């Protein structure tokens, strides 16, 4: 879970240190936008919302995040919620029974 205003990872643990997270989601991700009370506002299913998650090297179907030791993420200065405004659907709550495909996620520790 990421606070989009502060660019901070909220559910991190100190022992994680600095991380580089990369995942190819193959147009099958589900992204939820939550309010300040962590209640679901809307969701996008399928494509990575590149107006929010930075595209790297012309590859928009990857999620690549550098997370510093202070849990700050390499995010745009001003997040753009265009994808959520144009392509989302309103949800009352997150369906915890959604069947998800499992992919291996690699993380590496980077000490700067």
Buried b (16+ CB within 10 A) or exposed e, 25-41: beeebebbbbeeeeeee
pTM of the complete model beyond 0.85: no
pLDDT in tens, 68-111: 888 888 776 676 666 666 766 666 666 655 555 544 444 444 44
Domain span at residue 26? 2-92
Model pLDDT for residues 2-25, shown as the tens digit of each residue: 887 788 888 888 888 888 888 777
88 Cβ neighbours under 8 A, 6+ residues apart: 33, 42, 43, 44
Strand segments (E) across the chain: 2-3, 8-9, 19-24, 29-34, 40-46, 62-67, 89-90, 106-109
> How many domains does the structure of the chain reveal?
1
Domain assignment present for 81: yes
Predicted local confidence at residue 62, as pLDDT: 75
Residue 55 falls within a domain, yes or no? Answer: yes
Average pLDDT, the chain: 71
């Amino acid at each position: 879970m990421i606070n989009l205003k502060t660019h901070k990872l909220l559910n991190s643990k100190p022992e994680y240190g600095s991380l580089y997270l990369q995942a190819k989601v193959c147009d099958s991700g589900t992204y939820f936008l939550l309010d300040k009370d962590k209640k679901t506002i809307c969701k996008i299913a399928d494509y990575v919302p590149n107006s929010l998650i930075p595209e790297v090297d012309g590859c928009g179907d990857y999620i690549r995040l550098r997370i510093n030791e202070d849990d700050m993420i390499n995010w745009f200065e001003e997040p753009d919620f265009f994808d959520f405004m144009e392509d989302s659907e309103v949800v009352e709550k997150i369906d915890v029974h959604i069947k998800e495909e499992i992919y291996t996620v690699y993380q590496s520790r980077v000490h700067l």
